[in-house]
Amino acid sequence: MRRLPGTVWLLCLVSFFNDLASDMVIPLIPILLASVLAAGPVALGLIEGVAEAVASFLKLWAGRHSDEASGRRKRLAVAGYFLSNAARPLLAFAGHWASALLLRAVDRVGKGVRSAPRDAMLADMVDPALRGAAFGLHRAFDNAGAVLGALAAAAVLYWLGTDLELVILASVAPGIAAVLLMLAVPEPSQHIAAEPLPPLRWAALGPAMRRILAVLGMFTFARVSDTFIVLFGYQMGIGTIELLLLWAALNLMKVLSAYAGGSWSDRIPRRNVVAISWAAWALGFWFLCGVESASGLWLVTLYAGAAAGLGEGAERALIRDFASPEEAGTAFGWYYCLIGLASIPAGLAFGALWQFGSAALAFSFAGAIAALSALAILGTVERGKAAPAV
């Protein structure tokens, strides 16, 4: 980690504070829906699916625009962080699940504006041989913010009562810190020469990139929101504060595995790290099918967090490996766009299987998709493919 430049660490701190603010709110959404807004799994699936999908085209546009701006990406990242942290606290005033959907969607629009440019900035900051480590570290800081966010929410509820709206409003403070830190992140000094880019269309991507993105889109049907684990615990009768602690523990395991997985992918084929993560993820969902107690849910959640975190950095580094330097932002834009577009049917399918079948049926479905995706990524990415020396 010592070899990573200070700008990478600063960008990681931005994500830490943003996720701190975000995860003071996100784990409360299923509880808010079930207890205050009288909505169920289908509404949660719709909200989480739309939240990710509504910004999909913005992610693609933002990545492409940052390439067309000769690699100057910071202003888009700043705008995205500002929009999310302006919209998210307004969930405290949501009076219906539809208004919660709208505000969650606006929050994700902010994510759509910032995600691809920020990831391309991060790739611009490091040597190709350290991409996995850089993305792994970034994901570790993301998840560390989620840990502290859930703990902060639990502390507010414990000391100040069970007013969920108060916790949501308290998320303003770390959100402001994230925006200010992003303003302090210097733009990478080397910019791409301004040259006409190929048309923005799917066919313009290389065959290998298209295959990788297709598999990642498939895996989206297994990458269901972690909020469903909170809903599962809530339906088991677990209290709100314990559920927030469970959320914190889930993200702590991601912290512990994210940097290790990203760094590992700098030394062995990244596809192997991603496949191991997805296969372990599948097992986690199948384990959830047999959970009947709070202690069992804790054990499986800890395992699932470690499995999920292992592949997060490697996935993003894999995208950059197959992108040309002048189209790094566009490649990340396609990545986020495809995942976002798949999120609506994925969230609705999972929620419907749960509501009209059972939680076990929904978890089994997600586990099967994760296992198939692990096999597909092994057959899609060339064996031994390493980061290009650019």
Over the chain (390 residues), the average pLDDT of each successive run of 10 is 80 94 81 60 65 71 76 85 90 74 80 86 85 88 87 81 77 93 84 59 78 87 80 87 87 88 88 93 91 92 91 86 75 82 80 88 93 91 48
304-332: pLDDT as tens digits: 999 988 988 888 888 888 877 667 778 88
- Give the pLDDT of residue 162: 62
State whether residue 12 is helix, strand or coil.
Answer: helix
Report yes or no on whether pTM surpasses 0.75: no
Domains of the chain and any CATH numbers: 7-184+205-380 (1.20.1250.20)
The per-residue pLDDT for 306 is: 93
Q: What is the pLDDT of residue 182?
A: 95
Q: How many helices (H) and strands (E) does the chain have?
A: 16, 0
- CB neighbour class for 203 (10 Å; exposed up to 12, middle 13-18, buried from 19): exposed
How far apart are the C-alpha atoms of 276 and 118, rounded to whole Å?
A: 26
Measured CA to CA in angstroms, residue 145 lies from 141, 227, 245 at distances of 6, 16, 13
Q: Are 174 and 20 in contact (CB under 8 A)?
A: yes
CA distance 7 to 5: 5
In tens, the pLDDT along 46-62 reads 666 666 666 777 778 78
DSSP string, 317-346: HHHHHTS-GGGHHHHHHHHHHHHHHHHHHH
CA distance 323 to 311: 19
- CB neighbours of 233 closer than 8 A, spacing ≥ 6? 242, 243, 246, 294, 297
Cα of first residue to Cα of last residue in the chain, in angstroms, is 21
Question: Scanning the structure block, which residue is given the tokens 């054990």?
Answer: 299
Q: Which residue has the tokens 């996935």?
A: 315
Q: What is the C-alpha separation between 51 and 329, in angstroms, rounded?
A: 21
Pair of tokens at residue 191: 């910019």
